[in-house]
Structure 1
């Protein structure tokens, strides 16, 4: 593997992994748009990731040739064995396992180690080189149990029955995970959604992730009328609370579900009244745990606090290399802004 302006390139196999621009052949780890870009010639991914790409990018832009590779299956291209192993990040997310001439490299994509009832769990794969993300690669980031954060949310709903609870989430992954966690915690009432979240929730349902009773937030009643959905839970893209759309809700408690809610200044700057530390990435301890489990003598580090993680790895006798890949962001942890125009649903 080598780093190019088009991203990580497997030279003997002649393909890229999560390239930031269109290429002839790409292997895609998951459907977030900082990893799944449009207009590749050929795309190899899990069936779920391909379905998500078609939903988000359009059938004609999700790869002119689309090849699904399910976990447990393997193919060979130019002598390079390719497998996809669950990464635990979002539905369909996968690590890319490449075997060539007796050596193995694993590209993690984004991953988390916590249980997620909306997708398959991460599976560590021993390898010679492990390519890891580093979104939360600082010791301050220690994620609490997501179930604990959901319990805090439900307690707030109990304490403020005259207010709606509006939670900012990312449309792919965080939204559906939070819904499933709420269902497991016993919330069997309808969960109300901003229109920008409806399509991917419907796709999750089609792909077998059952989410229960989901309803679009009703249109605003007469101007000046009191808000709706007091005592209810509403999910929306971040930014919806700053648009006229929010007038539909009864004195909303503004919440946000993100690993970044560990940083109080960030929560305060965003006007978040109830920060919920629910992350779809590995925290500091889990990054180091994963490095130990994959037993790789060399670890390459992508977006995030690359230098901090490389330093910690060196103290453990592991060679670290910061890749400084372009085109990687916090998209899946910084929820999408609400559409400028109200969705009408």
Structure 2
């Protein structure tokens, strides 16, 4: 069986005919396998959703208990029609997974979803899965993207807090994954006191704590007076009246895109923190070298740069040009 008969793009998303399922579909389908809980990958309305237990919990928190007709936890290898599928940690956010597809006849395909190779205190580390075809993201698929050590970025935050002790530091971070990672990194960097969080982060932070992730003392940033010097909020909050309660704040944003200075200026960011939950250029190219697949398929991101690299490395590659994927929507 040819690879494109095992997995190919459709308007709904990546479809596997021998298994009769879709991976991270952007429209409601009868059976969806979900890599992780971000809204551009995990959507409500499917007939059956198969995902890790944590991803299913996160989808229920975000969309309500009836987000799908049926839920199925991905425990161990599972038979789905003429395929065997398995889920493996992706290192992106809590519950994130790569999906391995082994048809009864044909090459083994691993769909990475979003993934990261740097240590992340709020989720399991990426697990390399040998495969014939590796489907990789290319969010930061250009050589210019070489992200620094996250703890190095957090040292810039602590230095700013020491330099401006009377100014609250408001850090924008996506509600799922990035916010909790920033909090955990702040603890590793020695910030032991209460951290204030926007109300939109409360339920997801509570879930991480219930899963055994120590985020330290958190206080709500919804009262009229917030005494904590460090405040974490979703980026959308910075365009709302909520931000006006803080006097002379230091505005920060934690994202891999903060390496692009124009983006930081456009957002009015005084303290850009280059902290990414995606692979940068060295990570994605080293991952391909490590797995040594016979072919690489490239999804959302800068496909041309990685295509050219694969060509120079003698690795067969092609773009999938999937639509509907972007930064985590707020």
Q: Deviations over 1:150-208 (max 9, x none)?
A: 01100100000010000000000000011111111221100101111111101111222
- 2:15 alignment partner in structure 1: 9
Q: What is the aligned residue count?
A: 323
- 1:69 alignment partner in structure 2: 74
1:23 maps onto 2:29 in alignment: yes
Contact 2:169 2:251 (8 Å CA) reproduced: yes
Contact 1:310 1:322 (8 Å CA) reproduced: yes
1:285 to 282, 286, 292: 282
1:137 maps onto 2:141 in alignment: yes
Q: Distance in 1 between matches of 2:315 and 2:299?
A: 16
Q: Distance in 2 between matches of 1:312 and 1:96?
A: 24
- 2:4 alignment partner in structure 1: none
2:153 to 149, 152, 164: 149
Could you state the TM-score of these two structures normalised by the residue count of structure 1?
A: 0.91
Q: Deviations over 1:196-236 (max 9, x none)?
A: 11111011112222211111014225xxxxxx436x10001
Q: How is 1:17-96 mapped onto 2 (pairs within 5 angstroms)?
A: 17-61=23-67, 63-70=68-75, 73-96=76-99
Give runs of ≥4 in structure 1 deviating > 3 Å.
none
CA shift, 1:102, in A, is 5.3
Contact 1:129 1:298 (8 Å CA) reproduced: yes
Q: Distance in 1 between matches of 2:33 and 2:150?
A: 30
Q: Distance in 2 between matches of 1:130 and 1:145?
A: 26
Matched residue of 1:172: which SS? Answer: coil
Contact 1:229 1:249 (8 Å CA) reproduced: no
Matched residue of 2:66: which SS? Answer: helix
Q: Distance in 2 between matches of 1:275 and 1:329?
A: 20
Q: How is 1:182-201 mapped onto 2 (pairs within 5 angstroms)?
A: 182-201=186-205
Matched residue of 1:98: which SS? Answer: strand
Q: Distance in 2 between matches of 1:37 and 1:125?
A: 26
Contact 2:257 2:274 (8 Å CA) reproduced: yes
1:321 maps onto 2:323 in alignment: no
Structure 1 residues without counterparts, runs of 5 or longer: 222-227, 337-345
Structure 2 residues without counterparts, runs of 5 or longer: 1-6
- 2:108 alignment partner in structure 1: 104
Q: Distance in 1 between matches of 2:74 and 2:319?
A: 29
2:219 to 215, 228, 231: 215
Q: Distance in 2 between matches of 1:239 and 1:36?
A: 20
- 1:340 alignment partner in structure 2: none
- 1:303 alignment partner in structure 2: 300
Q: How is 1:158-237 mapped onto 2 (pairs within 5 angstroms)?
A: 158-220=162-224, 228-229=226-227, 232-237=229-234
